[in-house]
Amino acid sequence: MASAKNTSEAVAQRPRRADARRNREKLISAARAAFNAAGASASLEDIARRADVGIGTLYRHFPTRKDLLEAVYVDEVEEICRSAADLSDLPPWDALVAWLHRFVGFAATKRAISEELIAYIDRDAEFFRSCGGAVYDAGQALLERAQRAGAVRPDAEFRDIGKMVGGIAVIRNPEPGQVERILDVALDGLRYRPPSG
């Protein structure tokens, strides 16, 4: 993720035949849906059923549960990173806010999957550092752009913002729309306000 070597390794592991690629994508999408509905402990049989493939097809693509969890996690990371570039046409403040609203959903899903992955991989493993670095780079670029435009206070740091948004993402039993409202209030504190007087 964070390096060309890691990215090329991930690409090399992806199937080359069109039908195999489609099945892999269907399985990742189904796993994401299953993890969102039932948590990261969703059964592999349910995931294969959701993807409309046999369990053998799932195991051909993902020989272990860890392999599937890693693939979903990486797919989520790649998607949130791509979405930062997709917002480049928006004004800097709007792009940052839109991305951080997407980041809330990403953070909630990522947490469920990462908690399950920790059974297989150490929290400080290169896998997590690489993925975290890619997300940091995407968010940092949006933050710096907004700071250069004078829209965000110069003392704001993405590491702090990421933790703030991640905390908001895991609020338990929120009312409909509450997470977005809390995020908007928190983000208002990032705006640059010239000193008065």
Report yes or no on 46 lying in a domain.
yes
Tokens representing 5 are 């070597």
Report yes or no on 194 lying in a domain.
no
Please give the Cα distance from 158 to 133 (Å, whole number).
12
Report yes or no on 195 lying in a domain.
no
Q: Which domain holds residue 52?
A: 4-188
pLDDT of residue 11: 41
Report yes or no on 32 lying in a domain.
yes
Report yes or no on 91 lying in a domain.
yes
CA 85 to chain centre: 14
pLDDT of residue 106: 85
pLDDT of residue 27: 96
Residue 191, helix vs strand vs coil:
strand
Instruction: List the pLDDT tens digit at each of the 197 positions of the chain.
Output: 444 455 435 444 555 678 888 999 999 999 988 887 887 678 999 999 999 999 999 999 999 999 999 999 999 999 999 999 999 999 999 999 999 999 998 887 777 788 888 888 888 899 999 999 999 999 999 999 999 999 999 999 999 999 999 899 888 888 988 999 999 999 999 998 887 75
Report yes or no on 67 lying in a domain.
yes
Contact between residue 135 and residue 161 where contact means Cβ atoms under 8 Å apart: no
Please give the Cα distance from 3 to 192 (Å, whole number).
33
What is the tally of structural domains in the chain?
Answer: 1
Tokens representing 69 are 């969890």
> Positive or negative CA dihedral for 186, 155, 114, 131?
positive
Report yes or no on 39 lying in a domain.
yes
Whole-model pTM above 0.85?
no
CATH at 35:
1.10.357.10
Report yes or no on 148 lying in a domain.
yes
